[in-house]
Structure 1
């Protein structure tokens, strides 16, 4: 993502919407005023709430703080699989306490990431990722909150670990990126599939095929901001206000009405995260 590219223009409003996965701190939301500005911008186009997600312990603390600063934000806390080596007795206890916070609505993002294994010296090894993933699965079941999955190039292994460990009641496949076969398997398990701007990319035919087989009640939409800005603004900085672009792209892929899809995915997010959009 080049800093020289400007932010996308505001989309036409589409409401109601919840951004099911964003990173407010990475978007610049590191104090109450900045968080409010990001959420005010999102609200101006119909995005009335967001779930801000942690990658590491510092991000987890930022996410909880953002959810305390503004009632339009909720948090998900966990160690990203690439940071799985940071799971110690001390961080595990802090994550357990965070997971019980009333503004924390999911344990995530956790899972497996085989993409970075050979590309980063800082990426946690395979077995360390699996051990951390199992711990987070157990935590989600302990606190009774959804499990938010990160999967990169590890789809079969993610499903196998969930099989072996036993899935929590609610599982969210964040930024779903697999093919139709994996999508159908997730649907059979009752998992929610969350689609980001990648579903709008011109080279995403396999992902678009997957999106068509997901029942409406198992769909979520997200930005994963500041990443994965939807077409035609790929590579530009992303924020929650861009979510209507993705919803409209997903509606076109599925041959759905965009307004109907917005209402459906918002109802799904409210049900999964056990939240309600604040009154406008």
Structure 2
């Protein structure tokens, strides 16, 4: 990700919005003051709450702590599939403890990533990823919290593990980036699909077609900040305050009012995460 571009300007406010998936630690937040500053910028443009996501054990500890620093922040904990090799007994015990906390509202991000094996040194192989994914599925069932899935180039693999283990009651595909066929299969199961800034990319043809298949009651929106900044700021550092750009791009694509998408996605986020 290029980080030398200036940050996007604040968009026109659009509310209510909930950022269903962000990484506050990767956005440069180190303490409660940093978190408050990010949430203040987001709240100024209509983003009322965020869910900050863990991808390793250190990030899981941090996310759970950050959710206690600011009542606009919630957390999800898991080991990212590329880091699944670190899911030893001690890690399982600690993630289980963190997942039981009230302000940890999801198990994620977990799933399958078939892009990075062979490209990223130390990346977990597919078999290790599948084993870790199955464990996180069970944890979601045991805690009664939604399962947040990372799926990169792994549609069939993700569905195979979900079928073998049995999906929990609530499933979220974060940063959904597949095409219409996968969207239909997810929608048929009643799974939530969360769209990020990639839906604003004009060359994301399959995703943009899939977006039109998501029922209003299964739609979430996210930043995945600091990544995937929406057009026309692609390559700049993303942050939760940028979410209205994505929602307005989606509204244009779907020919729906942005205010309606904001209301629907916010209500869906509160329901799936059981937010207060």
Asked if these proteins are the same fold (TM beyond 0.5), I'd say yes
Q: How far apart in 2 are the matches of 1:26 and 1:133?
A: 23
Moved more, 2-11 or 71-80: 2-11
Q: CA RMSD in A?
A: 0.6
The equivalences for 1:78-117 within 5 A come to 78-117=78-117
Paired with 1:183 and 1:215, the residues of 2 have a C-alpha distance of: 10
Tell me by how many angstroms 1:3 deviates.
Answer: 2.2
**2:170 — aligned with what?**
170
Q: What is the rounded CA distance, in whole Å, between the counterparts of 1:31 and 1:255 in structure 2?
A: 40
Alignment partner of 1:269 is 2:258: no
Q: Look up the match of 1:179.
A: 179
Structure 2 distance, partners of 1:38, 1:32, is 10
Segments of structure 2 that go 5 or more residues without pairing to the other structure are: none
Matches within 5 A, 1:1-280: 1-276=1-276
CA distance in 1, matches of 2:4, 2:250: 28
Structure 1 portions without partners, runs of 5+: none
TM-score (norm: length of structure 2): 0.99
Paired residue total: 276
Q: Secondary structure at the match of 2:246?
A: helix
Measured after TM superposition, the shift of residue 156 of structure 1 is 1.1
Give the SS at the match of 1:18.
Answer: strand
TM-score (norm 1): 0.98
Residues 168-208 of structure 1, C-alpha deviations (whole Å, 9 max, x = no match)? 00000000010000000000000000000000001011101
> What secondary structure sits across from 1:26 in the alignment?
coil
CA distance in 2, matches of 1:6, 1:20: 24
Runs of 4+ in structure 1 off by over 3 angstroms are none
Q: CA deviation at 1:89?
A: 0.6
Whether the 8 Å CA contact 2:3–2:235 is kept in 1: the answer is no
